[in-house]
Homo-oligomer: A and B are copies of this chain.
Amino acid sequence: MTMQMTSCTKKGRGRPKVFDREATLDRAMELFWQHGYEATSLADLVEATGAKAPTLYAEFTNKEGLFRAVLDRYVSTFAARHKAQLFCDEKPVEQAVRDYLTALARCFTSTDTPAGCFLINTSATVSASSEQIARAVRTRHAQEEEMLLAFLTQRQEKGELPAHTDLSALTAFISCLIQGMSVSAREGAAPEDLMQIIDTTLGLWPTLVSS
């Protein structure tokens, strides 16, 4: 007993570390967000998360498994927060779109996370050799567009948008602007640069929805 206790005291300092899955995913997300899937090595992930390689393997099997867990965490945290700005019945449709775009612009230019959109950055840097990962990211990115279309459809059914508005074209147009904002942020745009794009977009809103 005494031997065991001594050995235990020698091995670890203070309390034994508990593996913090969420903190690990957040640190890994930051690396993938900044550098992309391929350019982030397992050694980088071990260093950044402070977790040991065997722990990461036990928890996520491999780098792909860790990336997929990060993708899920991105969806349940960041993407969910942005979505909440849209699906809020009290807001007029224009306000909901403005708040959604503003939340995205803030996220893309936030100093707490790498510049640009996590999904767009990782999609842009994934190579053909990681086809499964590329597909997973693009499927997830496409779901953002489907969500926007679902929101606009809901508002059209409520009579807040003209019945003749081509919602697919409107969704594609807004999505294109979001992607462009992510590229701008990645290249160093300030929050106010993106706010100007949003102002221009909302200034066009009456024309945009009546076309």
Interface, chain A (partner B; CB < 8 A): 35-36, 38-39, 120-121, 123-125, 127, 138, 141, 169-170, 172-173, 175-184, 186-188, 193, 196-197, 199-201, 203-204, 207-208, 211
Contact of A138 with B187 at beta-carbon distance under 8 Å, contacts A180-B180, A204-B207, A211-B200 already known: yes
Known contacts A39-B39, A179-B183; 12 additional CB pairs below 8 A are A123-B187, A124-B186, A172-B196, A172-B197, A172-B200, A175-B180, A176-B180, A176-B184, A176-B197, A179-B179, A180-B180, A182-B183
Contact A186 B123 (CB under 8 A): yes
- A sample of 23 cross-chain residue pairs with beta-carbon separation below 8 angstroms, ordered by A number, consists of A39-B39, A123-B186, A123-B187, A124-B124, A124-B183, A125-B125, A138-B187, A138-B188, A172-B196, A173-B197, A173-B200, A175-B184, A176-B177, A176-B184, A176-B197, A177-B177, A177-B180, A179-B183, A179-B184, A180-B183, A200-B208, A200-B211, A204-B211
Contact B193 A125 (CB under 8 A): no
- Across the interface, which residues of B come within 8 angstroms of A204, CB to CB? 204, 207-208, 211
Task: Please classify the interface of chain A as helix (H, G, I), strand (E, B), loop, or mixed, using the class held by over half of its residues.
Answer: helix
- Across the interface, which residues of B come within 8 angstroms of A180, CB to CB? 175-181, 183
- Across the interface, which residues of B come within 8 angstroms of A208, CB to CB? 200, 204
- Nearest first, the 8 A-B pairs at minimum CB distance are A176-B180, A180-B180, A179-B180, A179-B183, A124-B124, A207-B207, A173-B200, A125-B125
- Across the interface, which residues of B come within 8 angstroms of A170, CB to CB? 200
- Across the interface, which residues of B come within 8 angstroms of A127, CB to CB? 35, 39
Q: How far is the CB of A111 from chain B (nearest CB, A)?
A: 15
Contact B125 A200 (CB under 8 A): no
Q: How far is the CB of A191 from chain B (nearest CB, A)?
A: 14
